[in-house]
Amino acid sequence: MSERKRSGKVSRRITAEAIAEKLGVSAMTVSRALNGRPNVNRKTREKVLSAARKYGYTPNHIARSLALRKTETIGVVVPEISHSFFPEVIRGIEDAVYSAGYHLILTSTAEDVNREQDAIMTLQSKRVDGLLISTAQTVTDHSMYEETIRQGVPIVFFDRVVQNIGATCVSIDDEDCCARITEHMIGHGYHSIAHLSGPPTVSIGKGRMKGYKKALARHNMKVRPELIVQSGFHEKGGYVAMERLLQLSPRERPDAVVAVNDPAAFGAIKAIQEHRLRIPQDIAIVGMTDDIRAELALSPLTTIRQPAYEIGKSAAEALIEEIEERAKPGRKIIVQTELTVRKSCGCV
Amino acid sequence: MSERKRSGKVSRRITAEAIAEKLGVSAMTVSRALNGRPNVNRKTREKVLSAARKYGYTPNHIARSLALRKTETIGVVVPEISHSFFPEVIRGIEDAVYSAGYHLILTSTAEDVNREQDAIMTLQSKRVDGLLISTAQTVTDHSMYEETIRQGVPIVFFDRVVQNIGATCVSIDDEDCCARITEHMIGHGYHSIAHLSGPPTVSIGKGRMKGYKKALARHNMKVRPELIVQSGFHEKGGYVAMERLLQLSPRERPDAVVAVNDPAAFGAIKAIQEHRLRIPQDIAIVGMTDDIRAELALSPLTTIRQPAYEIGKSAAEALIEEIEERAKPGRKIIVQTELTVRKSCGCV
DNA sequence: TTGTACGCGTTATCAA
DNA sequence: TTGATAACGCGTACAA
């Protein structure tokens, strides 16, 4: 119908105030009606609602946030988005956040400390009600997290967590997982088991390493330092690390490999194949994370399924509980995992 | 040091005004100093900057947005996040958005029209500066998009685009892609080529169907309606659709299948294998999209690589150009694709 | 170079 | 049930 106001640059949106004026009521009444407050006459409410529809009114959430000091938005900080794990986590976050009426600002740090700091800063500027963080690999200084929490902005860490600073952490039990899968190998008779380890600065790397050693210890097997090689979390690192293991003399060479995660395992598999060795006959290998490709690999990878979706969902739910003060921070939430036996371990 | 003010519930953040007071200057001077305006004494600026650091000041972006009527935030609406395509698109978006100093609110619609409407509404409420949308499959009513644009909020569609409503669209040339891969099959001697098609309501489905038919026409091959089965975009649909094709008598049965995308192709592959037919000897098959799993499948899938990252990046860049009025809306941006020949087509 | 007044659009509070 | 006023924290436009 009416399509004027092309005059200025900005075709300014209609405000609650303007609607109030047209109806001859106050802005407050409009606000109350729109927000479904009880103390407003039924007829008045209907008038307001229909006028709002008619003029295509959309409440200005920015102004609302300013007045209420609450944005109903949470900031998400992830180290990367390519790896199939995080999209699935984000899906879980999105679902939880959506059903609680919140929104999600997504930032990815590319594993870069500075970018992570930057992200946390701007998210604070945007006054998100809380933060969901999976730390970049190289982060060692936690003062920014602590400062954020002190400012009253709750943080929930997920997957790559930071413990003992009072923030809730959601993750799998890395130590237990890695111990389990290592014991699975021990139980099937492998006796020279190597570990491709993650960065020792990240809790995941630390925990899994510990689990690996614990499993060996439980079965009175010696930890042989030459069988522990740092691979990091990516395919390339897995490849390089495995190459190093393959330099060992056939006598010293491991008969099984426990990789810190699936991508590292894929890299290792590539190296093993290039050496014309068979999986699992010559060298068995297992991963952790259940990458989407694990099932499809030439020798389907035995791994620990890490329920990415659930991690995201639990983390988001935990954060929202804390934002709404229905729960206290500093909890430790463990998400259950599952051993998925395929062919690469030679146990089936 | 000082850690009081635990009194009220909210430990209120420090404001520019408060800093001004402590320094005995006006709030404006603080604002100017913090925003790097030229008209401020060097010594004053330094005083302000150090005070800001000292008190842990973070500018309130919400208040700023309200005053400036600009949020430096763009809304992203995707139909889903599991499918490996969208995470990669989002990565592209994130990169572009980050380097332009914007942020990204992510919403996913689970292919649900209502949820999409909902998302667009709330994103408008949050006064995002622009919208990046890939439509849900079932959307047929475009009035909401048009209304949004009329309100002055630019939209750029990507992948699943909506043409002719004045919004910029970023996508591959579906018709051309599908024609190319179909001709690839024709060129290698297949003469009974089926098509597992997408939903005809989505531009992708339409375009690829058209390309398929065009390729046949160019080579004087008849379109046989029984060889066109609607599969939708997912694995399950591909499986069901392929089952139908496999019900045909061996004489009528296709010797090649062009699937609308890789997931549909995976479903079809499963059906073919269950019938104990070999790929590509008995039935060749190709997909489109280059799903991460395509390379790893038992019979690696020939497909059209769709540069997800570039799509996301171009779309975000285009949107930001329009937000900043450096470009006009209504453009049509085509991202180049690449035929990736693997084993499933039997051509190597 | 610095300061004052006002507006951005909403909601809380208190009074009517 | 409704309204007036003030606040949320910042930036623009002007004046000093």
pLDDT in tens, B283-301: 999 999 877 788 777 788 9
Domain boundaries, chain A: 5-59, 71-172+308-337, 174-305
Q: Is the CB of B348 under 7 A from strand C?
A: no
Closest to B125 (Cβ–Cβ): which among A3, A56, A58? A58
Smallest CA–CA separation between B176 and chain A, in Å? 28
Class of domain B174-305: alpha beta
How far are the Cα atoms of A126, A182, B109, B122 from residue A66, in angstroms, in the given order?
A: 11, 53, 28, 16
Kindly give the parts of chain A with pLDDT less than 50. 1-10
- Asked if the Cβ–Cβ distance from B104 to A106 is below 8 Å, we say yes
Q: Domain spanning A5-59 has what CATH number? A: 1.10.260.40
Chain B interface includes A99 (CB < 8 A): no
Strand C-proximal residues of A, range 68-97, CB below 7 A, are 68
Quick one: pLDDT at residue B212?
97
Helix, strand, coil shares, percent, chain A, to 5: 40, 15, 45
Q: Cβ distance B61 to A126 under 8 Å?
A: yes
User: Alpha carbon A314 to chain centroid distance?
Assistant: 10
Closest to A65 (Cβ–Cβ): which among B62, B292, B296? B62
State the residue for tokens 């309100």: B151
Residue at the smallest CA–C1' distance to nucleotide C1: B40
Measuring CA to CA, which residue among A337, A243, A262, A336 is closest to residue A300?
A: A262
Q: Cβ distance B338 to B304 under 8 Å?
A: yes
- Asked if the Cβ–Cβ distance from A98 to B107 is below 8 Å, we say yes
* Cβ within 8 Å of A, B 132-191: 147, 150-152
Provide the residue type at B23 as one letter.
L
Measuring CA to CA, which residue among B167, B127, B114, B131 is closest to residue B331?
A: B167
Residue by residue, pLDDT tens for chain B (348 residues) are 222 232 333 457 899 999 999 999 999 999 999 999 988 899 999 999 999 999 999 999 999 999 999 999 999 999 999 877 899 999 999 999 999 999 999 999 999 999 999 999 999 999 999 999 999 988 889 999 999 999 999 999 999 999 999 999 999 999 999 999 999 999 999 999 999 999 998 888 999 999 999 999 999 999 999 999 999 999 999 999 999 999 999 999 999 999 999 999 999 999 999 999 999 999 999 999 877 788 777 788 999 998 999 999 999 999 999 999 999 999 999 999 999 999 999 987
Quick one: pLDDT at residue A201?
87
Class of domain A71-172+308-337: alpha beta
What string of DSSP letters covers A70-109? --SEEEEEES-SSSTHHHHHHHHHHHHHHHTT-EEEEEE-
Chain A interface includes B44 (CB < 8 A): no
Cα angle value A104/B88/A264 (rounded, 5°):
105
* Cβ within 8 Å of A, B 78-97: 80-82, 84, 86-88, 90-91, 94
The nt closest to B45 (CA vs C1′) is C1
Its pTM stands at 0.86
Quick one: pLDDT at residue B84?
79
* Cβ within 8 Å of A, B 285-324: 292-293, 296-298
In sign, the C-alpha dihedral spanning A91, A93, A94, A96 is: positive
* CA closest to A58 among chain B residues: B125
Q: Examine domains B71-172+308-337 and B174-305 and report if their fold is the same.
A: yes
Q: Strand runs (DSSP E) across A36-191, as ranges?
A: 73-78, 103-108, 130-133, 155-158, 168-171
Hey, what are A96's tokens?
A: 């939880």
A180 CA → D8 C1’, Å: 54
B329 φ/ψ angles, rounded to the nearest 5 degrees: -75, 180
Quick one: pLDDT at residue B9?
38
Could you say which nucleotides of strand C lie within 7 A of any protein CB atom? 1-5, 7-13
Query: What is the C-alpha to C-alpha distance for residues A342 and A290, in angstroms, rounded to an integer?
Result: 11
Query: What is the C-alpha to C-alpha distance for residues B288 and B177, in angstroms, rounded to an integer?
Result: 8
Closest to B82 (Cβ–Cβ): which among A60, A88, A106? A88
Quick one: pLDDT at residue B140?
86
- Size of chain B in residues: 348
Find which of A11, A53, A103, A299 to mutate to test the B interface (most B CBs within 10 Å of its CB): A103
Quick one: pLDDT at residue A278?
94
Quick one: pLDDT at residue A6?
29
Query: What is the C-alpha to C-alpha distance for residues A20 and A31, in angstroms, rounded to an integer?
Result: 9
Helix axes B308-323, B85-99, angle to 10 degrees: 40
